[in-house]
Amino acid sequence: MIILGIDPGYATLGYGIIESIGNSQSLIKYGTIVTPKDARFPTRLKILADEINIIVDQYKPDAIAVEELFFQSNQKTAILVAEARGVILLVAENSAAQIFEYTPLQVKQVLTGYGHAEKIQIQQMVTVFLKIPTVPKPDDAADALAIALTHARSNSIFGNFKIK
């Protein structure tokens, strides 16, 4: 199964693509989509949609796992990221992939067994599960891989949170 994990953002969106066979996962690709700061917001959303479409067309994921939003403050940023997340979900819905959503708590629980794990612990588990020597950079890409891994490994803990 090919899984595309996405860490939503409108300035920087992280993505990670893994293959999961049984209890084993391997890295295919990871990266970020960065939109120009001086571009109009609708233009930034279009860039995200276009780039995610390219990734989906090229890798044809069976599942797309997207992190649910969690914000404690800054409502303006939360709204903009939510709008970007809407674009992500629209692109995913138009693909042949199934869509799944995971909260940050679920990602931490699945990857470390502890729902309040630190970011560095999550990043270390990404390297362990994917058998790679270093933590992927930037953090947005590492987060996206963590989301993809959460989907691959979640059946035994939560069952899948399918929305499509």
Half-sphere exposure of 149 (CA within 13 A, CB side): 29
140 is catalytic: yes
Name every residue whose Cβ is closer than 8 Å to that of residue 115 and which is 6 or more positions away in sequence. Answer: 105, 106, 108, 109
143 is catalytic: no
Find the catalytic residue in 51, 67, 101, 143. 67
Which residue in 3, 4, 7, 40 sits closest to 20, CA to CA? Answer: 3
Find the catalytic residue in 7, 51, 101, 143. 7
Angle between helices 104-112 and 139-153 (to 10 degrees): 70
Longest dimension (CA), the chain: 44
118 is catalytic: no
Find the catalytic residue in 51, 101, 140, 143. 140
Name every residue whose Cβ is closer than 8 Å to that of residue 52 and which is 6 or more positions away in sequence. Answer: 6, 13, 15, 33, 87, 88, 91, 92
Task: Specify whether the CB–CB gap between 147 and 7 falls below 8 A.
Answer: yes
Catalytically active residues, by annotation: 7, 67, 140
